[in-house]
């Protein structure tokens, strides 16, 4: 499953100005995107330093052979769904092609291949046909569960099955989309009669976005042995949550209007191939935990199917921005604390014959670490709103207020390899 090759070499250099040693997008990263310029028509590209390599321009440049041109043309489309449908061998070939072009000698007419990032507008990487949000952050599950079941925070099924709910694909939007406070039915704690109005307990959730290949027909499954190859790429995902609406509506069928008003996703698809050096063993289960059922159990996936990605959440209130203050770090967490691997989530999703399609999106569920400074939501940080968070400028928050900006970031660090970033997913609460 781990496939480290010449594209990951730490000493690789590029002719793109300023991209060598770039803090986020060096030549070892090469995230894919859908972007547009003045004409507003989206097309595919590769982010490199402070530029975007225009796939359409590269395909027309004459620098590539026929197979390479075909692959780059697929990745030059208005969305990356065609790329997501490629088998893993062709995805690797495309990465090798892009790496060779960018790390070789500067080609004649190189300036025609690049667009400055500041001049580009970024769209969703792929058209999302279906979006599923998992609940794989066990520390978040425990923290939230304790608020309702102090003596038994995890329900009996949690350690047996990757829990998830189906979200609303139409409200998945790229980073920067405004966060419009939702209205809905809400009830005070313990009340049996609701009222209707804007949410007063608006929250964020720190999640990893997983982009899917899929392609199984209805009734077919995707066995765990090959599920990892159907995990195409990663990003950041904010599952904005109206906690008061959510609490009232969730019983008995689960989240609905408290979740589906907006899901923010980072605009770059960091490929599974780019993350090969940051694969690691899945965290061992506690001795008393059940073994996964056979359809979720695979030795190779347990040995290298997890990812070491460092995540963080920052807040910038309207007052902070007006005062010229930097965004404040709220929390840090790690994807090593997820209870299920991406392959296990995918294999379970398809285990009943549910057809997955290229470009489908998974959220991992809120990623929280065991320590109090690693909570992935305000619900956890404030213990349900009972213990406000103090900000450096003297403001306090239990839940989000108008003008608050939430910024999610992700980074991969390993000695001997270039550090790469998953970018940002951000949004400002409008009211």
**Residues annotated catalytic, as ranges:** 140
Chain centroid, CA 414 distance in Å:
20
- The phi, psi pair for 125, rounded to 5°, reads -60, -35
Gap between the Cα atoms of 137 and 194, Å rounded: 30
Gap between the Cα atoms of 101 and 19, Å rounded: 14
Enter the DSSP assignment of 8: G
Enumerate residues 6+ apart whose C-beta is below 8 A from 14.
Answer: 20, 26, 27, 48, 49, 102, 103
- The phi, psi pair for 89, rounded to 5°, reads -65, -40
SS3 212: strand
Tell me the two tokens of residue 24: 């986020």
Contact 405, 203 (CB under 8 A): no
Contact 427, 180 (CB under 8 A): no
Contact 132, 100 (CB under 8 A): no
**Segment 246-254 long-range contacts (CB within 8 Å, at least 24 positions apart):** 247/186, 247/187, 247/189, 248/184, 248/185, 248/186, 248/187, 248/194, 249/184, 249/185, 254/165
Tell me the two tokens of residue 234: 């990663």
Burial of 171 (0-12, 13-18, 19+ CB in 10 A): middle
């Amino acid at each position: 499953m781990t496939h480290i090759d010449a594209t990951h070499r730490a000493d690789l250099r590029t002719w793109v100005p300023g991209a060598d040693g770039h803090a986020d997008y060096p030549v070892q990263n090469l995230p894919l995107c859908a972007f547009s310029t003045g004409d507003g028509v989206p097309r595919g590209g590769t982010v490199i330093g402070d530029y975007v390599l225009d796939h359409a321009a590269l395909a027309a440049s004459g620098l590539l052979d026929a197979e390479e041109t075909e692959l780059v043309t697929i990745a030059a489309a208005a969305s990356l769904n065609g790329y997501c449908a490629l088998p893993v061998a062709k995805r690797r070939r495309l990465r090798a092609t892009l790496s060779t072009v960018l790390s070789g000698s500067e080609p004649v007419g190189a300036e025609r291949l690049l667009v400055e990032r500041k001049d580009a507008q970024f769209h969703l990487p792929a058209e999302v046909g279906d979006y599923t949000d998992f609940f794989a952050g066990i520390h978040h599950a425990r923290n939230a569960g304790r608020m309702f079941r102090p003596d038994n925070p995890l329900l009996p099924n949690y350690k047996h099955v990757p829990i998830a709910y189906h979200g609303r694909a139409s409200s998945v939007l790229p980073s920067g989309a405004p966060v419009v406070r939702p209205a809905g039915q809400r009830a005070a704690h313990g009340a049996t009669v609701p009222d209707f109005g804007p949410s007063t307990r608006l929250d964020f959730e720190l999640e990893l976005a997983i982009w899917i290949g899929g392609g199984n027909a209805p009734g077919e499954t995707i066995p765990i042995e090959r599920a990892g190859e159907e995990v195409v790429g990663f990003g950041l995902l904010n599952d904005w949550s109206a906690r008061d609406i959510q609490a009232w509506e969730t019983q008995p069928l689960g989240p609905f209007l408290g979740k589906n008003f907006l899901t923010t996703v980072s605009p770059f698809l960091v490929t599974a191939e780019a993350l090969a050096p940051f694969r690691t063993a899945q965290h061992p289960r506690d001795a008393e935990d059940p073994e996964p059922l056979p359809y979720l159990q695979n030795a190779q996936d347990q040995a290298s199917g997890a990812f070491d990605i460092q995540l963080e959440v920052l807040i910038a209130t309207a007052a902070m921005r007006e005062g010229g203050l930097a965004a404040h770090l709220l929390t840090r967490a790690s994807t090593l604390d997820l209870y299920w691997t991406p392959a296990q989530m995918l294999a379970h999703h398809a285990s009943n014959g549910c057809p997955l399609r290229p470009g489908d999106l998974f959220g991992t569920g809120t990623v929280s670490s065991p320590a109090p400074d690693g909570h992935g939501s305000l619900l956890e940080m404030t213990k349900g709103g009972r213990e406000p968070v103090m900000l450096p400028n003297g403001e306090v928050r239990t839940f989000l207020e108008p003008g608050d900006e939430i910024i999610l970031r992700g980074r991969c660090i390993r000695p001997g390899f270039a550090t790469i970033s998953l970018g940002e997913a951000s949004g400002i609460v409008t009211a």
